[in-house]
Amino acid sequence: MYVRRAALISSILAPVLFIGATIAGEQMFPGFNPMSQTISELAALDAPTYVFVTVVFLCTAVCHVITAVFTPGIGIPGRVALGLAGCATFAVGLFPLPSVEGTSVPHRIAAIIGFILLAVWPVLGMRFRRDVPWVVRPWAAVGGTLILGALCFWFLGVWSNPSLGYVGLVERLAADLESTWPALVVIGLYVAQRRRARTLT
């Protein structure tokens, strides 16, 4: 068993919720500029989308934890990292920015930890056995982390220099792909699992 149905549902639901909520939140926030403003600003205490986006952050976090728990096809270190990434995402929602223009040290720390864990879990979850699906084999796992890591560090670099004016764009590229990658891996494992079941019957 590579993946259980709960993980298939949760892994797909995570990017649907996260990406859908950020797009919807931008439409609900008059004057919001997704090019230069961050997703966290949609969940700031004084933002009109605070409750909506915060609830979605928390739901996305729970989805990552469920995916980690119910996907035995991923190596244990990767599952731990993905579960901890879910916990960090939960903390992002619990420690919002005090205002759209404000900062929060706990929020920033949780966000950085979450970004890093969501980038490194694929390589930590790789499997070396020849009979495991390709999505968790070394080349795919390392490739995933290289792609996610590059986007993550690009975002952190732009985030540290807000005068560049496109931090929102880079954050969305990184965050959206990081929220989607678990689904890609789980779907790959699920397809392999179904094929294996057909060959055994």
Residue pLDDT, tens place only, 11-64: 999 999 999 999 999 999 999 999 999 999 999 999 999 999 999 999 999 999
Task: List Cβ neighbours of 182 (8 Å cut-off, separation of 6 or more).
Answer: 11, 14, 64, 67, 82, 121
Whole-number pLDDT of residue 197: 84
- Predicted structure pTM score: 0.94
CA nearest neighbour of 74 among 174, 147, 144, 157: 144
- Reported as a pLDDT band with limits 50, 70 and 90, residue 201 is low
| Per-residue pLDDT tens digits for 146-182 | 999 999 989 988 988 877 889 999 999 999 999 999 9
Which element (helix H / strand E) includes 144? helix 138-159
Residues in the chain: 201
